[in-house]
């Protein structure tokens, strides 16, 4: 029995010692701006600035401004958001704009799809569009 009591006394004393070493912490809210200023994330490269200028020039287009107004975003808010982008985000957005199809989209893909569709229907004997195909029927 004395071993059991010693084990309990040792456990209680270790627990009390651990509690005495614990110090209370203070929780405060840290804003993104504070982190950016302290971490030096505000530094911008020339490529990032060029990307932001290009995005700002895109915001001057009247059709884009009309679409932004339709979504409930004022041009000033959009400009502020563009200026708040990091260099990487601005460059990635400009790259997406450059890769986006202009106008009708992928016309060549649609033409190839129609050609393959007509070719398959010719081979199956449903149509007779191409003279070089033989029907399976």
List pLDDT tens digits, range 126-137: 888 778 777 776
The structure's pTM equals 0.43
Same domain, 85 and 114: no
Same domain, 90 and 52: yes
Same domain, 42 and 87: yes
User: Does the residue 22 lie in any domain?
Assistant: no
User: Does the residue 13 lie in any domain?
Assistant: no
In Å, how far are 14, 65, 96, 135 from 59, measured between CA atoms? 65, 7, 15, 55
Tokens of 63: 């059709």
| Domain count within the chain | 2
User: Does the residue 110 lie in any domain?
Assistant: yes
Non-local (6+) Cβ contacts of 35 within 8 A are 41
**Structural domain harbouring 48:** 35-100
Low-confidence stretches of the chain (pLDDT beneath 50)? none
Same domain, 96 and 118: no
Same domain, 54 and 108: no
pLDDT digits (tens, 9 = 90+) for 18-28: 777 777 777 78
User: Does the residue 27 lie in any domain?
Assistant: no
Tokens of 52: 């932001």
**104: helix, strand or coil:** coil
The CA distance from 112 to 35, in Å, is 52
Same domain, 62 and 47: yes
Same domain, 72 and 115: no
- For residue 42, the model assigns a pLDDT of 52
CB 93 within 8 A of CB 55: yes
């Amino acid at each position: 029995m004395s071993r059991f009591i010693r084990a309990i006394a040792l456990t209680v004393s270790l627990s009390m010692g651990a509690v005495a070493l614990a110090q209370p912490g203070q929780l405060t809210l840290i804003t993104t701006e504070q982190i950016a200023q302290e971490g030096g994330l505000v530094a911008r490269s020339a490529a990032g600035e060029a990307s932001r200028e290009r995005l700002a020039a895109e915001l001057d287009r009247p059709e884009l401004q009309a679409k932004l107004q339709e979504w409930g975003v004022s041009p000033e808010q959009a400009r502020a958001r563009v200026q708040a982008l990091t260099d990487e985000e601005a460059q990635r957005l400009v790259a997406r704009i450059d890769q986006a199809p202009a106008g009708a989209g992928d016309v060549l893909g649609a033409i190839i799809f129609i050609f393959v569709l007509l070719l398959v229907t010719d081979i199956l004997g449903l149509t007779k569009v191409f003279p070089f195909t033989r029907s399976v029927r």
